[in-house]
Structure 1
């Protein structure tokens, strides 16, 4: 069994960085298979709960600010391809809300991982040992910052590792190399030599390395699946699809109107006739409609007739796409 301690910064990073999504999936898979057990101190759980929303919001603001800066540079310096580039950037800007909202989905998954973990409380021994590190100016107090929480976490990891069987392994994983790592960030600071002095107690400065050591095929397989995961569609693609659906919905309604004309339910009257209603249509309007219908027939290979199921799908797709872009549900006006 592998007992995995993740520092708070690791939980926060995998919650907000899209390229770390395979790591979340790998943890879920390995925990579900009983290969690893996640161990979380109450201090780490509290730090994560306190900072998760702030980090996600900062990510959203950072993406928005970076987008504005890029767009400003393009507007000022781009030449003949400026319009094309701005269109691409506007498409990305329209996707930002979806991309940033995805952070909160990942946060929910990470919260579930923490809930499923073995919870341990900070002991008095760990608190005292952390204070002693501070008095001795040992890592993580070797730099000028308040590192009490980091010291308590590493001491609690040490205490837990002492009670683990020799047949099990304990991994401490952090992205905070300033406080915990040696000059070679893959190794712990020399002040932690007494903690990482056994073959089954290991230090990692990134989660991917730890997962690969446990199961080298797990992460590779998950990353392969993510390579073939479809990206969020851009605004241009959504608008193009909506245009096609609007054309087809209108065309079907036009064909129903033409059927009613042929069967005498709707009368064609001359332009200027003072008659209106569902049972009449003016000749100039029907002429324009027939030209529009010809345009639709020339553009699309399939314009019906459709079954009730196909017709429901077309209307449903148009309603869903309009809802994504801000309309109310069932908005099917053409």
Structure 2
């Protein structure tokens, strides 16, 4: 029996970005070829992939080059000069081939677009658009956040329409996405659908997944054998740019939460706004100049625009502790002392 799978745009872009997922693309191609799976391909996914593919392709190339560079740096730790020279020659050959070979990202794009072309593209019907708009108006997942997620709702409704159109009660459907912000539970296990979506995946014929590798294994357990070592995936260290990006986001989140506490104190009069602060006056900690307060409000607005209100809380005590712990750990990795939480 052919299993019908909707692979969300986020998954296709992950496959394009990360060279380690090349075997996953091969497995999808093989399973489609033998009709073990068939792809549900809403036109919205084709549009989104086409719009983002060049940007993500550049990130893939950067990652490959950076990996070779890190490996070259690591070779300097080899004590034996002969072994070090031999290894450096091999790395130089790989580096040279990378420079001369056509961008591997272009090849991956071509393979993905072939798969998209082979699958019947599902146009967004009026019914799909109306149901997606209704989700947006009612603020239910995937439209439960402040951003406009109607495109995600169209993808979801296209999946549901394809499932409803299939008269076989034994047919199996899978919705796979890595867009956990819009589709997964807001708290707890991100591998489970948002509570608004749980009824859609309660029946045995419809499954929700955030791991394309798990989906492939369930279809054909041997498909990814060459990709697995000891049933674990090889975890490559994060690039410095990824660490800095994550540190910046956490720093903004922690600052914004503290800013809202300051707003509470200003509103209650606990912190008093003044034109200027006399440093001889006590306690000066309960005073703030109006210029400083205006600058803080401007910074808060920039943070909201940059990060998005949906990523700025509010958080419970556990989530707040996790944010601070992540920020402290990242800063330690980047060279700060432990517990450095200044924002």
Identify whether the pair has TM-score above 0.5, normalized to the shorter chain: yes
How has the CA–CA distance of structure 1 residues 95 and 33 changed in structure 2, closer, same or farther, with 3 Å as cutoff?
same
Q: Residue 57 in 1 paired to residue 62 in 2?
A: no
Note the alpha carbon deviations across 1:292-331, whole angstroms, 9 max, x for none. Answer: xxxxxxxxxxxxxxxxxxxxxxxxxxxxxxxxxxxxxxxx
In structure 1, the residue matched to 2:193 is 188
In structure 1, the residue matched to 2:20 is 19
Q: 2:210 aligns with which of 194, 199, 205?
A: 205
Aligned length: 221
TM-score, scaled relative to structure 2: 0.56
Distance 2:32 2:93 in 1: 38
Distance 1:94 1:144 in 2: 47
Distance 2:216 2:70 in 1: 37
* Deviation of the 1:122 alpha carbon: 0.7
Unaligned runs of 5+ in 2: 230-343
Distance 1:205 1:87 in 2: 39
1:59 and 1:100 in contact (8 A); partners too: no
How has the CA–CA distance of structure 1 residues 60 and 81 changed in structure 2, closer, same or farther, with 3 Å as cutoff?
farther
1:14 and 1:21 in contact (8 A); partners too: yes
2:16 and 2:60 in contact (8 A); partners too: no
Distance 2:12 2:79 in 1: 45
Q: Residue 139 in 1 paired to residue 141 in 2?
A: yes
* RMSD of aligned Cα (Å): 3.0
* Deviation of the 1:188 alpha carbon: 0.9
In structure 1, the residue matched to 2:219 is 214
Unaligned runs of 5+ in 1: 226-334
Q: Residue 179 in 1 paired to residue 182 in 2?
A: yes
* Deviation of the 1:22 alpha carbon: 1.4
2:136 and 2:143 in contact (8 A); partners too: yes
SS of residue paired to 1:218 = coil
Distance 2:228 2:183 in 1: 32
Distance 1:54 1:204 in 2: 26
Distance 2:194 2:63 in 1: 32
SS of residue paired to 2:169 = coil
Distance 2:222 2:63 in 1: 34
How has the CA–CA distance of structure 1 residues 98 and 215 changed in structure 2, closer, same or farther, with 3 Å as cutoff?
farther
Q: 1:101 aligns with which of 95, 100, 103?
A: 103
TM-score, scaled relative to structure 1: 0.58
Distance 1:204 1:98 in 2: 38
